[in-house]
């Protein structure tokens, strides 16, 4: 049975009618039109659907929308502030951390969660935490360079 729920996404509250079997990914993309979050494998194995839930990196394809009630959800659309790209986004643009760009929203959201908990990660720690975000174009080198570049830019800021 459908139920009305309120989701807080990127600081705005949305009232939506959902069935329990709808994932957060489906609701973000199909009900709220927030198509920045990508549907990749849809089985929790590629990281493309990563969003932040109360600051932590969640796979929105393995999360029921009804379970996201009461959480602060942030998607790639919510990162820029007043038209200014987030330092992570700037770094990806400047250092060429993307090619086709499909995996990029998920990568950036995971990177945001990682840097928020560990502002100056070692390369080893970063590689381990980013390993669940697959990319078929870049070969990962420039992805990691871009995240490391952003740590310098952010200087511990969020």
**Which residues would be at the binding site for ligand FAD (CB under 6 A)?**
44-45
Binding at 20: pick from ligand FAD, other proteins, none (beta carbon under 5-8 Å per type):
other proteins
Q: Tell me whether residue 45 or residue 85 sits nearer to ligand FAD (CB atom).
A: 45
- Minimum CB separation of residue 82 from other proteins in Å reads 29
Q: Tell me whether residue 45 or residue 93 sits nearer to ligand FAD (CB atom).
A: 45
How far is the C-alpha of 91 from the C-alpha of 147, rounded, in Å? Answer: 7
- Minimum CB separation of residue 45 from ligand FAD in Å reads 4
- Minimum CB separation of residue 64 from ligand FAD in Å reads 11
- Minimum CB separation of residue 24 from ligand FAD in Å reads 15
Q: Tell me whether residue 94 or residue 117 sits nearer to other proteins (CB atom).
A: 117
Binding at 92: pick from ligand FAD, other proteins, none (beta carbon under 5-8 Å per type):
none
């Amino acid at each position: 049975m459908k139920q009305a729920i309120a989701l807080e996404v990127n600081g705005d509250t949305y009232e939506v009618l959902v069935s329990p079997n709808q994932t957060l990914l489906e609701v973000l993309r199909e009900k709220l039109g927030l198509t920045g979050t990508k549907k990749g494998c849809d089985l929790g194995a590629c990281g493309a659907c990563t969003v932040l839930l109360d600051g932590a990196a969640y796979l929105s394809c393995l999360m029921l929308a009804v379970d996201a009630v009461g959480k602060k959800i942030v998607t790639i659309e919510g990162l820029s502030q007043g038209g200014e790209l987030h330092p992570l986004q700037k770094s990806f643009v400047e250092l060429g951390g993307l090619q086709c760009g499909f995996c990029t929203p998920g990568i950036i959201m995971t990177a945001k969660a990682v840097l928020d908990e560990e502002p100056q990660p070692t390369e080893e720690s970063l590689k381990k935490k980013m390993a669940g975000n697959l990319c078929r174009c870049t070969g990962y080198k420039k992805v990691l360079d871009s995240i490391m570049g952003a740590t310098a830019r952010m200087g511990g800021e969020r």
